[in-house]
Amino acid sequence: MKPPSLVHCFKLLVLLALARLTMHVPDEDMLSPLGALRLDGHFSFHDVSAMARDFGNQCSFLPAAVLHPGSVSDIAATVRHVFSLGEGSPLTVAARGHGHSLMGQSQAAQGIVVRMESLRGARLQVHDGFVDAPGGELWINVLRETLKHGLAPKSWTDYLHLTVGGTLSNAGVSGQAFRHGPQVSNVNQLEIVTGRGDVVTCSPEDNSDLFYAALGGLGQFGIITRARIALEPAPEMVRWIRVLYSDFESFTEDQEMLIMAENSFDYIEGFVIINRTGILNNWRASFKPQDPVQASHFQSDGRVLYCLELTKNFNSGDTDTMEQEVAVLLSRLRFIQSTLFHTDVTYLEFLDRVHTSELKLRAQSLWEVPHPWLNLLIPRSSIRRFATEVFGRILKDSNNGPILLYPVNKSKWDNKTSVVIPDEEIFYLVGFLSSAPSLSGHGSIAHAMSLNSQIVEFCEEADIGMKQYLAHYTTQEQWKTHFGARWETFERRKHRYDPLAILAPGQRIFPKASLPLSL
């Protein structure tokens, strides 16, 4: 099985064009009742091309219409209408968060895209231990609002300009997941519009099957219109630390020790720096530290390096305590002593760090380029073998983008959700976050795709029990393999909550009656 490619998307486009000619596709007759629905918001049938783009920049499917909902009932009325058209209708509905998918997952070819951001801002309500957030709200806004009350969510993604409904439909993983679990483990309640157009409030107590289905559910069971997210007291500041290793085993043993330790850091990640071509990836980008002088002269000498990234939260009154705790923790680690970097920043500055990089990349026109990303979950028992093959042989440099690598503990992942993870107590998130700014050579999509294929093929041939995160497949067989033993539950839930397969067609898991699925 190969990772996504342009060819797949292109083939689908051709098939859709043919389908338009030969099959029953949405035409004016089918869409005109949409205009007759009584809504608080409105539909647009033109200027829809912005909804045919995403962060991956590799797939583009024009929708037939875009719903700009003015209320949750607008979404329900729209889905109910499509449901009432029955099996014969090819119309589908895709919720679009911030469109930060990689391969068209939030698009709907000739269907209806619901612009969830139209509902944001509305009713972002902070309570004592939780916040109620609209599904289309950006996490950065959730943070800004909760901080006004001295509170914040516990589990994050590395980048906050993503929506609540979008990350909860995947998992939401970052350096806090070792302690709090992914974002889907930190939700108390959801409000969902199902594939029948019903509005259902669900939680671990009420309608729990739908609640767990939707978490990590890839948008297959309903549209999340509101999420109740657990909060904790927010720290004022974080000490943000980076240290380097040249030995993979010491690096991962230290990471594993830290995610197990009782009084540990508050955020634990890591990344891989490959400098074999002589150009060292700028591993301190977006870091404005009071660097020790000798550290800034550090030479990689052609070795593969591993950067451990950590934070410790603190408030202005307890800097001394924080420094003592950090010193004790660092004394237990085996990093290269001359490579200790740290800086103190506000909690908001730390959490919003990738946005700082985004602004720099945008200024150089390097943000809206194709992103052939590959995210893998690798069982701990194989991580060394994986590293030897991938960092030792397949990849020659890490100049196409960051390579993340950090462990999490499965006990923090609720196995009732739809999220698919490896079957082992500790597994690593390994993210190859490549950009493809050029048409040929090292910076091209073709080059990145070829490396991605080699990595995936290695995992499959070595049978290491890898699972993809933010996966993209083109056939239901591949999805079945991905879900493994969980497929039966996933399929049962689909029949129950979205029996006509109206929702999130861009995931290409369940074909709607008359559309081609497999390529």
Ligand X SMILES: *[C@@H]1O[C@H](CO)[C@@H](O)[C@H](O)[C@H]1NC(C)=O
Ligand Y SMILES: Cc1cc2nc3c(=O)[nH]c(=O)nc-3n(C[C@H](O)[C@H](O)[C@H](O)COP(=O)(O)OP(=O)(O)OC[C@H]3O[C@@H](n4cnc5c(N)ncnc54)[C@H](O)[C@@H]3O)c2cc1C
Contact residues toward ligand Y (CB under 6 A) are 55, 94-101, 105-106, 116, 135, 157-159, 162-163, 165-167, 169-174, 218-219, 223-224, 354, 470, 504, 506-507
Distance from chain centroid for Cα 149: 27
Q: Which residue among 49, 388, 411, 518 contacts ligand X (CB under 6 A)?
A: 411
Residue 222 CA to residue 250 CA, distance in Å, equals 44
Does 158 show up as a binding residue in the annotation? Answer: yes
Partner from ligand Y, ligand X, none binding residue 231, C-beta < 5-8 Å depending on class: none
Dihedral pair phi/psi, residue 363, rounded to 5°: -60, -25
Question: Quick one: 90 or 219, whose CB is closer to ligand Y?
Answer: 219
Distance from chain centroid for Cα 196: 27
Residues 269-308 that bind ligand X (CB under 6 A): 275, 278, 280, 299-302
Catalytic residue among 256, 269, 291, 498: 269
Annotated catalytic residue 100: yes
Partner from ligand Y, ligand X, none binding residue 300, C-beta < 5-8 Å depending on class: ligand X
Annotated catalytic residue 442: no
Residue 374 Cβ vs ligand X, minimum distance, rounded to whole Å: 24
Strands 112-115 and 65-68: parallel
Partner from ligand X, ligand Y, none binding residue 386, C-beta < 5-8 Å depending on class: none
Catalytic residue among 8, 100, 180, 342: 100
Residue 246 found at the interface with ligand X (CB under 6 A): no
For residue 98 the two structure tokens come to 């911030």
Are the beta carbons of 68 and 146 closer than 8 angstroms?
no
| One character per residue 416-435, x = contact with ligand X (rule: CB under 6 A) | ---------xx---------
Partner from ligand Y, ligand X, none binding residue 104, C-beta < 5-8 Å depending on class: none
Annotated catalytic residue 447: no
Are the beta carbons of 312 and 285 closer than 8 angstroms?
no
Question: Quick one: 334 or 482, whose CB is closer to ligand Y?
Answer: 482
Our CA angle for 131, 136, 139, nearest 5°, is 55
Would you give the end-to-end CA distance of the chain in angstroms?
Answer: 13
Size of the site for ligand X (CB under 6 A): 13
| One character per residue 360-399, x = contact with ligand X (rule: CB under 6 A) | ----------------------------------------
Residue 490 CA to residue 473 CA, distance in Å, equals 16
Alpha-carbon separation of residue 14 from 1, 108, 432 (angstroms): 22, 15, 30
Residue 154 CA to residue 168 CA, distance in Å, equals 14
For residue 203 the two structure tokens come to 């939680």
Question: Quick one: 315 or 409, whose CB is closer to ligand X?
Answer: 409
Does 388 show up as a binding residue in the annotation? Answer: no
Partner from ligand X, ligand Y, none binding residue 101, C-beta < 5-8 Å depending on class: ligand Y
Does 60 show up as a binding residue in the annotation? Answer: no
Residue 137 CA to residue 124 CA, distance in Å, equals 8
- For tokens 């109910």, name the residue: 80
115: left (phi over 0), alpha (psi -120 to 50) or beta: beta
Alpha-carbon separation of residue 138 from 99, 318, 414 (angstroms): 12, 31, 24
Residues with catalytic function: 100, 158, 269
Binding footprint of ligand X on the chain (CB under 6 A)? 260, 275, 278, 280, 299-302, 409, 411, 415, 425-426
